Structure 1
């Protein structure tokens, strides 16, 4: 785990397990790391990225909270039966390489042990996009990650959580479903 933490702190991309699939992650404030991730994933910057962390404190610097009601705060912090990602207003200083063409950002509280360990050791939230090459299914094991990205690709060798599907995505302010989970 120390090697992977050092890679993250050195602006590299790693794969790590989440609730349902492996994600590709890096330091969200490192433009060079995010650009490496986008090239690796073959993902257009316009789509934006999800950020994950085990605690809200890691995510708050990215969120504009001035219009939040107590209901919004409760929704954002609740624990759900399935992984739930929230689209929230982005703080004005969040870089476009994270938000893409949007003025919002997607965030998720993820308490998978790998995410907890990585965020606590690095001190930052992680970007999260499914670990798979375009046209291939998301990886559900470390072996699948190595098969798609190469045998030496840095990966946290832990199992994914028990969720059957990737996270549901909802708009925090309206509670509307953006992507079914």
Structure 2
């Protein structure tokens, strides 16, 4: 794992795209503070850049650096969630502008996967994490289902957990600073 983290960090520090195993599905990722890298993700996925992407942080301390205010309900959801849960927060900070949705929100998940946590801690910045598919096509449930177009479109493919199967996308919950809670995806 140490060697894979080192190689992945090299790619991320050069503004390159990675394909990596997350706590949910295989993801296309990049530095969430690098606008040019994020543009490449949208191009590879053939996705309209008005459709927001998720980003991953390593822990609560990192989350606090990238959100103006974390609602109390978010802490409860993070503590009580039994599966990976992405929360959409109001007023993100210190992040690439093209990662922020038109309504000034950002979807962020605290990664629970050991590789992701170690990678993000060493990188010291959030990572974009979007499913490894062309927009509109099914999300691959395993590494073997990822299309050649995606495999060839990234700069580095992490060589870990390729046998992992039947992963599910995270739940998505939107929490407003006004305490409104809305389930987007179960």
SS at 2:184 equivalent: strand
Q: Any unmatched runs of 5+ in structure 2?
A: none
C-alpha separation between the residues in 1 aligned to 2:86 and 2:170?
6
Partner Cα distance (2:93, 2:150) in 1:
34
Q: Which 5+ residue runs of structure 1 have no aligned equivalent?
A: none
Aligned to 1:21: 25
Match status 1:32 vs 2:33:
no
Give the distance between the partners of 1:97 and 1:74, measured in 2 at CA.
Answer: 26
Distance 1:130 1:104, change over 3 A: same
CA contact (8 A) 1:54 1:109 kept: yes
Q: How much does 1:130 deviate?
A: 0.5
Matched residue, 1:157: 159
What TM-score, normalized by structure 1, do the two folds share? 0.84
Tell me, in whole angstroms, the C-alpha distance in 1 between the residues paired with 2:91 and 2:169. Answer: 22
CA distance in 1, matches of 2:45, 2:36: 14
Secondary structure (helix, strand or coil) at the match of 2:134 reads coil
Q: Mapping of 1:53-132 within 5 angstroms?
A: 53-65=57-69, 68-69=70-71, 71-75=72-76, 77-91=78-92, 94-132=95-133
Aligned twin of 1:170: 173
Question: TM-score, normalised on structure 2?
Answer: 0.82
Counterparts of 1:46 and 1:98, CA distance in 2:
9
Aligned residues of 2:84 and 2:170 also touching (Cα < 8 A): yes
Which SS does the other structure have where 1:178 is aligned? strand
